[in-house]
Structures are given as C-alpha cells and as structure tokens.
Amino acid sequence: MDNHNNIHSLEAKFEAKIDSEIKIEPKDWMPESYRKTLIRQISQHAHSEVVGMLPEGNWILRAPSLRRKVALLAKVQDEAGHGLYLYSAAETLGISREELYQQLLTGKAKYSSIFNYPTLSWADIGAIGWLVDGAAIMNQVMLTRTSYGPYARAMVRICKEESFHQRQGYEILISLSRGNAEQKKMLQDAMDRWWWPALMMFGPHDSASTHSEQSIKWKIKRKSNDELRQDFIDATVLQANYLGVNIPDPKLKWNEERGHYDFGDIDWEEFWNVVNGNGPCNKQRIKDRKKAYEGGEWVREAAMAHAEKRAKRKEEKVA
C-alpha cells in the first residue's frame, strides 16, 4: 500500500468512527489538526481552571464565616483537581505538562478571559459560582460527549464535582439578598460587573468564531457558542428574579415566538481587548502563576533528586 492511499484510508476510518459516535482514544490514528485542536482546547480549559483559582482564592482568607470558608476552599481545590485532570488528558496527546505550563506563562496559550476580572467584594464569589460556573457548566455538560475519550472522561468527573459549585455561589447570593442594605447593594454591584463578562465566556458569535465549525464537525464541540449562550440566558433569568436582582440589560425580554429571551448586544470590543491581554488583571494573573511556577522549581527538583537517591540506595542494597 503506498503512503498516499494509506493516509486516505486512515482518514476515512477516523471520520467513520466520528460519524458512528465511537470515541477516539490516545493511541488511535488521528489527523494532525484534530490533535492540535484538542491540545489547544483542552489546555486552554486546564489553564482556565488553574488561573481561575486566583480570583476566588483572593477571598478564601477573608471568607465571612467558617462554613463559607471551607466551602470556598473545597471549591478552589476542586479547580486545581480539574486543571490536573485536564492537563493529564492533554498529556495523552503527546505534550508534557511542563510544555503546557510554558505555553501559559509565555502567553502563547489562552485561558478564559473571565478570570481577568477582579473579585472586589464577597458578593463576587457568589456571582462567580452562580454565573461563571453556571456558564461553564453549559459548556462542560456538552463536553462530556466530546469525541476524544480522555477528554470526555475528564469532563464526566469534572461535571460530577462541579455540581456543588454553582449551588455554593447561588446560596451566597441568597444570603445577601435576604441581608441588609449594604449586602443587597453588594449583590447588585456584583451582578452589574459579572453579567456581561459571563455572556462573553461562550466566545464570539458563531459567524465570527474561527475554530467552531471544524470542532463541531469533529464532535469535539456539540453545540455552537450562540446556542450555548442562549441556553444559559434562558436558564438564568428566573434565578435572577428569585434573588430580586436586576439584570443589567434593558433589551432583555421574553420572545414568545422564539421561545427564548432576546438580549442586548455584547460589547465585543471589550471582549477582544481582554482576550488580547488588556483586561484589568491579565498581567497580575500570569505574574502570580509565574511566581508559583518559578518559586516551586526548587521543590520539584528536590523531590526528584531525593527520589533518585532513594531508588539508588535501594538498588545498592539489593546488589
């Protein structure tokens, strides 16, 4: 069989698997661009989990009760875990965690822009849980059916664990909504600042999204950005009403005919500005990650050096 034919038949076999919903596994043949797309998407997702620890971690030490403190700690810890599962899934595609870290720290790899906004009050922790995790879950539930096996398995685990995150956030906000005037103001202020960035989390309009079409064809993604965004808005309005909080969009209105909420225009200039590094906290987040990475280098090296010493001693004993 000549090489040309070979590639074609492999490609056909791959496409057939995708079409019949058979998962692709690490050692299976896959087109180079599928591999690259996956590495990009999974690592972006992993980086988001890890960078996402920072804005929420910002309030662990100041959490207003011990119950809130342990819940937040456990939640941020879960995010470290999720980052870890996802890095591991990416590693099955032949890239090391070290390389992935480097891509993040040098700005080559992106992460979710939402984490470039600051957490200014305790209400922001509630808003992140409710809106940001709520938006993320829309995406993540879809990804449990993604075509790449290790990614889908990581997402199943993540979705299971995430289920308390959104409730944790919403419960914080319920307390605020039943609280004093200062607490209610804190709640509305958080809503005003997080609503639009949360909508932006789903990415650009389908018409402007560069990777979407191919990703859907390969069943890496199974719903478009705009579909997911609409699902999220439809699910969230009722929850906002329950809190008695105002959604900062004068155009938001139920559309009987569509069976969906209509909503106002997203400020895409702001979106791209933050994506391109000019959000309020882009520099701070990367600086913090760099500090942890570089500051931890001697620890990781020491552990390796000790493991090698120990293995050698064991060998000598046997000999």
Partner 1 sequence: MDKKEWPLWEIFIRSKSGLSHKHAGSLHAADAEMAIEHARDVYTRRNEGVSIWVVKSSEVIASDPEDEYMFESAKTKIYRHPTFYDIPEEVGHM
Partner 2 sequence: MKQSLINYIFQLADNKLILGQRLSEWCGHAPELEIDIALTNIALDLIGQSRNLYSYAAELEGKGRTEDDMAYLRDCEAYRNVLLAEQPNEDFAYTIARQFFFDVYNHLFHKELVNSKDEQLAAIAEKSLKEINYHIRFSSEWVIRLGDGTEVSHAKMQTAVDDLWDYIGEMTTMNETDRLMLAEGVGVDLNKIRTAYFHKVKEILAEATLNIPEEEPFQKGGKDGLHSEHLGHLLTELQWMQRAYPGAQW
Closest CB to partner 1 among residues 36, 160: 160
Q: What is the residue whose two structure tokens read 């992106």?
A: 110
As measured in angstroms, the least distance from the Cβ of 27 to partner 1 is 5
68 binds partner 2 (CB under 8 A): yes
Residue 283 in tokens: 């520099």
Closest CB to partner 2 among residues 177, 209: 177
Q: Give the Cα separation of 206 and 192 in Å (integer).
A: 25
Enumerate residues 79-108 that contact partner 1 by CB under 8 A.
81, 84-85, 88, 91, 96-98
Q: Is 45 helix (H, G, I), strand (E, B) or coil?
A: helix
Contact 149, 315 (CB under 8 A): no
The contact pattern for partner 1, residues 136-155, with x = CB under 8 A and - = no contact, is -----------------xx-
CA-closest candidate to residue 221, choices 50, 70, 85, 42: 42
* Interacting residue with partner 2 among 3, 5, 20, 65 (CB under 8 A): 65
63 binds partner 2 (CB under 8 A): yes
In the Cβ-directed half-sphere of 248, how many Cα atoms lie within 13 Å?
14
Enumerate residues 184-213 that contact partner 1 by CB under 8 A.
none
Q: Give the Cα separation of 180 and 196 in Å (integer).
A: 26
* Interacting residue with partner 2 among 60, 156, 237, 247 (CB under 8 A): 60
Q: What is the residue whose two structure tokens read 């579909």?
A: 227
Query: Cα–Cα–Cα angle for 77, 78, 80, nearest 5°?
Result: 65
The contact pattern for partner 2, residues 172-191, with x = CB under 8 A and - = no contact, is x--xx-xxx-xx--------
Pick left, alpha or beta for residue 30 (phi over 0 → left; psi -120 to 50 → alpha; otherwise beta): beta
The DSSP bridge partners found for residue 255 are 260
Footprint of partner 2 (CB under 8 A): 50, 53-54, 57, 60-70, 73-74, 76-77, 80-81, 83-84, 87, 122, 172, 175-176, 178-180, 182-183, 288, 291-292, 295-303, 305-307, 309
Footprint of partner 1 (CB under 8 A): 25, 27-29, 77-78, 81, 84-85, 88, 91, 96-98, 153-154, 157, 161, 297, 300-301, 303-304, 306-307, 310-311
